Amino acid sequence: MTHFRHAAIAAALLAGVGSASAQTTVITREPVETRTLVTMQPLELTPVQRQTIYRTIVRQPVETVWPTVEYRVGTRVPQGARLYEMPRDVAVEVPAVRTYKYMRVNNRVVLVDPATSEVVADFVD
């Protein structure tokens, strides 16, 4: 009878160990390489916001660039291009442009996404 009791206890322990390990199983997955196409939404600004940005920035004492290339929305600026922080007045009045940087090119103001170096908007008076 003692052997039967030991066998029953051993069977119960083994069954418990199996269910306990099932509860603590960690499933890991291999990272999946995917290419995500990021589509940049155009920066939509009202005429008043555009005017506010332009008029505030042209009053800033920064270097004006006279490039040999044309900067258009969607093009990248060169790595060495001098970009300036958005003035506080503009960031407060037009929060959508807070994270962008700018440069003055001829008589235009060019907004650049610092993460991608892409031109997101340009303004002319």
Q: What is the CATH number of the domain that holds 77?
A: 3.10.450
Handedness of CA 56, 111, 41, 88 (dihedral sign): negative
**Structure token digits, residue 7:** 């066998």
Q: What percentage of the chain reaches a pLDDT higher than 90?
A: 30
> What is the rounded average pLDDT of the residues 40-47?
76
Q: Are 107 and 125 in contact (CB under 8 A)?
A: yes
Q: What is the pLDDT of residue 15?
A: 58
- The mean predicted confidence, pLDDT, of the chain is 76
pLDDT-derived band of residue 36, with 50, 70 and 90 as boundaries? Answer: very low
Q: Give the domain range for residue 78.
A: 47-124
pLDDT of 94 strictly over 70? yes
Q: How far apart are the first and last CA of the chain?
A: 100
pLDDT of 31 strictly over 90? no
82 lies in a domain?
Answer: yes
Q: pTM (2 decimals)?
A: 0.62
